[in-house]
């Protein structure tokens, strides 16, 4: 029985990666008025959610089976989870806070089971195949929707920008920031010819989809991801830093030249008023915040007279965490990143060339999303990719093969 349970690991760990492009559709389960259109049928979104719960049950049992595998980020993740519960209990929206913590818990379980089973037979291969194939389909669909201008409602509300199944262009951009460095690394190091081809296709379609999002934060985030990867991979540190700087400067120039391309100019300054409202929220609830998903409920009371009537989040990953989880939760988030950086550094010193490239590619995507998070909050990253990719980067840096 135990052997059969463990044998399911390639599916249990790989399937969630295939479903990531569908995760943004979960917003349709809420009462939030979001400025987008979900092309995913409600029945499919419900089926995916049910599947994630079934896989979570498998994962809970799987991680409890012997032998025990240490989780490098266990302490900060536990602290982050407990801080979230404290904020949810003391916050202004306990119901939605419970929903947030449920999602966060599922993502944490995914992190742990990935850490435990990455080196098991066929698991790494299943992860990358699932991730690449779903990314190819998602990016291709987004491109086709822009070219055909269908569905018309999605094309209209997005001002002709690529969205696909991601509801908002910024969500697709956030997904692409993580996808592109990984695709590049897999195209370089995978021994399986079919996997290399899939990586090249994902890289090409992902790049086109990223351009078509016209996401200013996405473009800058991707440039920083590429710059980070170039800098740390370069044998000549000064040259690598110079190239990285040139990449970021070029991206900034492109953004400035195309600043209002496919954007409604009236949206250019809405973030400023929302940030000010977030600072007002943090000032009132500094320690534990207003609770997960609580910012939107307090926003009407702290918004500026010229601000948007509604705001689902603070349009900044960091301000959102500070406003909703307070200093305690935000400190746990920073602790998680610090421990990840320290553990990643230790593993890279002993990694093979291939393991180093793949681990750094995944880390580069995370760096890019953290830059994007300065002025945007991307739900597919927070709920679908942040914790799993932290585990994947550490596992990839430790392992010598992705074809086992």
301-339 residue pLDDT tens: 888 777 677 777 878 999 999 999 999 999 999 999 999
Query: Hey, what are 58's tokens?
Result: 């498998």
pLDDT of res. 264:
72
Question: What distance in Å separates the CA atoms of residue 289 and residue 219, rounded to the nearest whole number?
Answer: 31
Least confident of 99-103, 115-119, 229-233: 99-103
- Give the number of residues written for the chain: 404
In a domain, 233, yes or no: yes
pLDDT on residue 30: 66
- Of the candidates 193, 190, 204, the residue with the CA atom closest to the CA atom of residue 140: 204
Domain contains 362 = yes
- For residue 25, the enclosing domain spans 2-398
Q: Cβ atoms within 10 A of the Cβ of 152, count?
A: 10
DSSP string of 254-321, one letter each residue: HHHHTTTTTS-GGGTTHHHHHHHHHHHHHHHSTTTTT-TT-HHHHHHHH--TTS-S--SS-SSHHHHH
Percent of the chain predicted with pLDDT > 90: 60
- The predicted structure's pLDDT at residue 1: 54
What the block records as the tokens of 382 is 């927070």
- 397, pLDDT greater than 60: yes
Return the structure tokens found at 353: 């060339």
Q: What is the mean pLDDT of residues 61-69?
A: 84
- Residue whose token pair is 């918004």: 303
Measured at the alpha carbon of residue 297, what is the angle toward residues 291 and 300, in degrees to the nearest 5? 135
Residues 6+ apart with CB under 8 A from 362: 178, 181, 182, 185, 389, 392, 393, 396
Band (pLDDT 50/70/90 cuts) for residue 400 is: low
R_g of the chain, CA atoms, integer Å: 20
169-223 pLDDT, tens digit each: 999 999 999 999 999 999 999 999 999 999 999 999 999 999 999 999 999 999 9
Give the Cα separation of 319 and 276 in Å (integer): 10
- The answer, yes or no, to whether residue 148 has pLDDT greater than 80, is yes
| Count of the separate structural domains present in the chain | 1
Q: Would residue 281 count as lying in a domain?
A: yes
Instruction: Give the count of beta carbons closer than 10 Å to the beta carbon of residue 342.
Output: 11
Round to whole Å and give the CA distance between 55 and 65.
15
pLDDT, greater one: 397 or 273: 397
- 3-state DSSP call for residue 377? coil
Tokens of residue 109, six digits: 């379980």
Residue 72 lies in a domain: yes
pLDDT tens string 21-39: 998 888 777 666 667 788 9
Using left for φ > 0, alpha for ψ between -120 and 50, and beta otherwise, residue 263 falls in: beta
Contact (Cβ atoms closer than 8 angstroms) between residue 376 and residue 316: yes
DSSP 349-374: HT--HHHHHHHHHHHHHHHHHHHHTT
pLDDT band of residue 17 (cuts 50, 70, 90) is very high
Q: How far apart are CA 289 and CA 285, in angstroms?
A: 5
Residue 289 lies in a domain: yes
CA 186 to chain centre: 19
Distance CA 266, CA 102 (A): 36
Identify the band that residue 297 occupies on the pLDDT scale cut at 50, 70 and 90. Answer: confident
In a domain, 404, yes or no: no
Query: ∠ CA 14-174-375 to the nearest 5 degrees?
Result: 145
């Amino acid at each position: 029985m135990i052997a059969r349970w463990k044998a399911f690991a390639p599916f249990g760990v790989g399937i969630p990666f295939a479903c990531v492009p569908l995760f943004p559709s979960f917003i349709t389960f809420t009462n939030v008025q979001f400025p987008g259109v979900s092309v995913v049928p409600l029945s499919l979104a419900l089926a995916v959610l049910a599947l994630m719960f079934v896989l979570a049950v498998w994962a809970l049992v799987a991680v409890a089976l012997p032998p025990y595998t240490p989780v490098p980020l266990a302490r900060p993740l536990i602290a982050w989870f407990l801080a979230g519960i404290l904020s949810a209990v003391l916050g202004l929206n306990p119901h939605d806070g419970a929903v947030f913590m449920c999602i966060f818990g599922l993502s944490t379980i995914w992190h742990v089971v990935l850490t435990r089973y990455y080196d098991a037979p066929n698991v790494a291969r299943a992860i990358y195949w699932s991730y690449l194939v779903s990314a190819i389909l998602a990016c291709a669909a987004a491109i086709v929707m822009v070219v055909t201008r269908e569905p018309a409602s999605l094309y209209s509300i997005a001002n002709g920008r690529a969205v696909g199944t991601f509801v908002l262009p910024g969500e697709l951009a956030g997904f692409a920031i993580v996808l592109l460095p990984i695709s590049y690394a897999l195209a370089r190091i995978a021994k399986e010819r079919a996997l290399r081809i899939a990586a090249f296709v994902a890289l090409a379609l992902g790049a086109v989809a990223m351009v078509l999002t016209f996401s200013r934060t996405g473009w800058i985030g991707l440039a920083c991801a590429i710059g980070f990867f170039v800098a740390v991979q370069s044998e000549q540190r000064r040259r690598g830093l110079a190239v990285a700087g040139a990449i970021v400067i070029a991206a900034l120039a492109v953004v400035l030249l195309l600043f209002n391309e496919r954007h409604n100019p009236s949206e250019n300054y809405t973030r400023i008023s929302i940030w000010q409202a977030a600072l007002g929220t943090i000032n009132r609830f500094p320690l534990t915040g207003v609770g997960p998903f609580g910012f939107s409920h307090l926003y009407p009371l702290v918004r500026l007279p010229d601000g948007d009537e509604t705001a689902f989040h603070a349009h900044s990953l960091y301000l959102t965490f500070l406003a909703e989880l307070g200093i305690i939760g935000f400190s746990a988030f920073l602790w998680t990143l610090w421990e990840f950086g320290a553990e990643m550094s230790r593993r890279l010193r002993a990694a093979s060339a291939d393991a180093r490239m793949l681990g750094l590619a995944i880390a580069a995507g995370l760096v890019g999303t953290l830059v994007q998070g300065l002025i945007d909050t991307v739900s597919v990253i927070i709920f679908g990719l942040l914790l799993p990719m932290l585990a994947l980067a550490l596992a990839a840096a430790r392992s010598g093969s992705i074809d086992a």
